[in-house]
Amino acid sequence: MEAKVSMNPGVEERAAFCPLCAAPLELRPLFGMPRKACVRCDYVMFVSPSAAAAAVVTRGRDVLLIRRGIPPFRGCFGLPAGFQEYGESPAEAAIRETREETGLDIRIRRLLDAHYTLDDPRKRVNVVVYLAEIVAGVPVAADDASEVAFFPLDALPEPLAFESSRIVLARLRNEFPTGDIL
């Protein structure tokens, strides 16, 4: 089971050559900080967090979790989640990832939170978390998930993958000490 925390830099921070012309990159003070710029062409490498989305899919007071079949946090349970594709909204990403990992079609009920996270070793990530409900389907683990199950909000498996998920679920426990999660 993996639960390590890392500040691993993204690919842009490790890159040594221009992606447009393959000449070396050099650090230059540009737009307020040192940035990698191509020694030959005009390319400047801007480094941004990746974008991801997660879904808190509820059924009464139960929360849908997947057991992660891939790193990071392989073997831990976590929310259905994944990186946002270029061309889709965060909400669309949450819906697609939930369908891919659980076989369930969901409807977004509301925005829960947005977090800047540092515990994904692949990249620093902005995660948008939605509250959602099932509209169709039967839970079947697939894609990055090796298991899919509902857990009571008060008895979630530990350690849960990703700090952002732990924060959101702790907040829901405080906001809804009893009854359905709304």
Q: How far is the CB of 63 from Zn ion (least distance, A)?
A: 47
Residue number, 18 or 127, with CB nearest to Zn ion? 18
H or E, element range at 98: helix 90-102
Residue number, 28 or 40, with CB nearest to Zn ion? 40
Q: How far is the CB of 24 from Zn ion (least distance, A)?
A: 9
Return residues touching Zn ion (CB under 5 A).
Answer: 18, 20-21, 23, 38, 40-41, 43
Identity of residue 35? R
Q: How far is the CB of 36 from Zn ion (least distance, A)?
A: 10
Q: How far apart are CA 65 and CA 80, in angstroms?
A: 7
Catalytic residue among 97, 147, 158, 163: 147
- CA distances 124 to 11, 12, 34, 63, 83, Å, are 11, 12, 19, 26, 11
Q: Which has the closest alpha carbon to 114: 97, 91, 132?
A: 91
Q: How far is the CB of 49 from Zn ion (least distance, A)?
A: 24
Phi and psi (nearest 5°) for 169? -70, -35
Residue number, 38 or 65, with CB nearest to Zn ion? 38
Is 88 an annotated catalytic residue? no
Residue number, 11 or 20, with CB nearest to Zn ion? 20
Q: How far apart are CA 108 and CA 106, in angstroms?
A: 7
| Residues annotated catalytic, as ranges | 147
